Structure 1
Amino acid sequence: MSSPEQQPAPPLATAPDTSRGTAEGPALAPAGALPALPDHPPAASASRWSRLSRGAVLAIGACLGAAVVGACWTGVSLAGGNGTNAAAGASASPSVSTERTEEVEGPFSTDGTLTVAGIGAGLEPGELCSGTGGYSDIDFGTQVNVTDAAGTLVAVGSLGFGQKTELGCEFPFTVDDVTPGSKFYEVEVSHRGGLTQTEDELRAGGLAFTLGD
């Protein structure tokens, strides 16, 4: 039995060309193409401020202005206060300096003792005594002179009561209102000659002079 004759396969159909038009009609637009943009963009959305009434805008502006004025006033007040305090401190400083200067440069006092050695034999320690023999001018009330470097008498004191000590007869003295500012001073009891002292030594006090052996 003979096999049937094979039939030729039908030709494949080709997709129509849509990229260009035909005589019958225009070409088709490709799928998914975006629509053309309009000539004018849409107007922007209205501003939030435009939504507020005129009264609300004025109220907000007034509050902001008041805040700015208040801040400026506070800054000016603080600056003025600091200036006042600084001025007060500056005005107080000269008075303090003046007081310290007067304390340092004002008149001062000094004190000390004068011992006449080898007198007061037979006296008990602490008993009253006086200068004898060649020291008879040394006694209670004898003048103590303080002169400056120019030889000017700047202060005067006197001896107190003499008391017997192991060394002899000791007389205390005090001199007040010594004029400051001299390079050195001389302290003289009676006419016995001056002993040179600096101002610091006189201010410190506790001077100790001795006459005799």
Structure 2
Amino acid sequence: MTVPPEQLPSIPPPPEPPASGSEGPVPAPDAPAAGSRWDRLSRTAVLAVGVVLGVAVTGGCWLIVSLAGGDASSAEKTFGTSGTLTLADSSLSFLAEGEDCTGLDGYSDIHRGAQVNVTGADGTLVATGELEAGKKTALGCEFPFSIEGIPQGSKFYTVEVSHRGGLTQTEGELRSGGLAFTIGND
């Protein structure tokens, strides 16, 4: 028995061979899509990439906060103080009250910009400031000063202007300000 050609089952043609230079077989048009790159990586590799990304994000956040001055805790660990040094020197009597003044002769180290040092209980220098411009008052030549960045927590502090000896204070006394030094020959 002979079957007419129109009744024969249709057989698809064989796939064409890949073009030269291509890698591997070309998937059939109705084949499922290949997995993503992540599907081809091992679990260890995916975990390693996740850890690296996590560290990078955390480090980036830390850097941004640091550069923005977000470390508020350091500001809370220091404090400031202020006071005056009065130079009672009769050689300044020729000045009128309110005039600019400075130390003379044996007091020439007492002037605007003279260093004011703060040391902790262990004798370590912990902060510095300087005298502002002196003004003549009824008591002598008065130099205001202020000091910032004194670390908290020392049992006591010593404040010294130039090399003239120190005034020892507790943290509470320093925080309240109003330190008053007087030196001179009057």
Question: How far off is 1:104 after superposition?
Answer: 9.3
Counterpart for residue 176 of structure 2: 204
The one of 151, 154, 162 equivalent to 1:182 is 154
Q: Does the C-alpha gap of structure 1 residues 104 and 183 become closer, same or farther in structure 2, counting only changes over 3 Å? A: farther
Shift of 1:197: 0.7
Q: Which residue of the other structure, out of 166, 169, 174, is the alignment partner of 1:194?
A: 166
Q: Does 1:150 align with 2:122?
A: yes
TM-score scaled by structure 2? 0.58
Q: Which has the higher strand share?
A: 2
Give the alignment partner of residue 127 of structure 1, picking from 79, 86, 99: 99
Any idea what the Cα deviations from partners look like across 1:150-195, whole Å, max 9, x if unmatched? 0010000000000000111000001110011001000000111111
- Once residues 133 and 76 of structure 2 are traced to their aligned partners in structure 1, the CA distance between those partners, rounded to angstroms, is 32
Are 1:112 and 2:95 an aligned pair?
A: no
In the aligned structure 2, how far is the partner of 1:109 from the partner of 1:191? 21
TM-score (norm 1): 0.51
SS of match in other structure, 1:151: coil
Map Cα deviations across residues 52-88 of structure 1 (whole Å, 9 max, x no partner): xxxxxxxxxxxxxxxxxxxxxxxxxxxxxxxxxxxxx
Following superposition, the deviation at residue 124 of structure 1 comes to 1.0
Gap regions ≥5 residues in structure 1: 1-100
Change (3 A) 1:140 1:104: closer
| Partners of 1:103 and 1:142 in 2: CA distance | 28
Equivalent-residue separation in structure 2 for 1:136 and 1:118 (angstroms): 11
Higher relative contact order (CA 8 A, sep 6+): 2
What is aligned with 2:43? none
Matched residue of 2:174: which SS? helix
Report deviation, 1:103.
Answer: 8.9
Amino acid at match of 1:166: A
* CA distance, structure 2, for counterparts of residue 116 and residue 128 of structure 1: 13
Q: Is the 8 A contact 1:105 1:181 kept in 2?
A: no
- The amino acid across from 2:162 in the alignment is S
Does 2:108 align with 1:136? yes
Spell out structure 1 runs of 4+ moving beyond 3 A: 101-105
Larger of the two Rg values belongs to structure = 1
How far, CA to CA, are the matches of 1:103 and 1:205 in structure 2? Answer: 21
Counterpart selection for 2:144 from 153, 169, 172: 172
SS of alignment partner, residue 112 of structure 1: strand
Give the root-mean-square deviation of aligned CA atoms: 1.8
Tell me the distance in 2 between the aligned counterparts of 1:114 and 1:190. Answer: 11
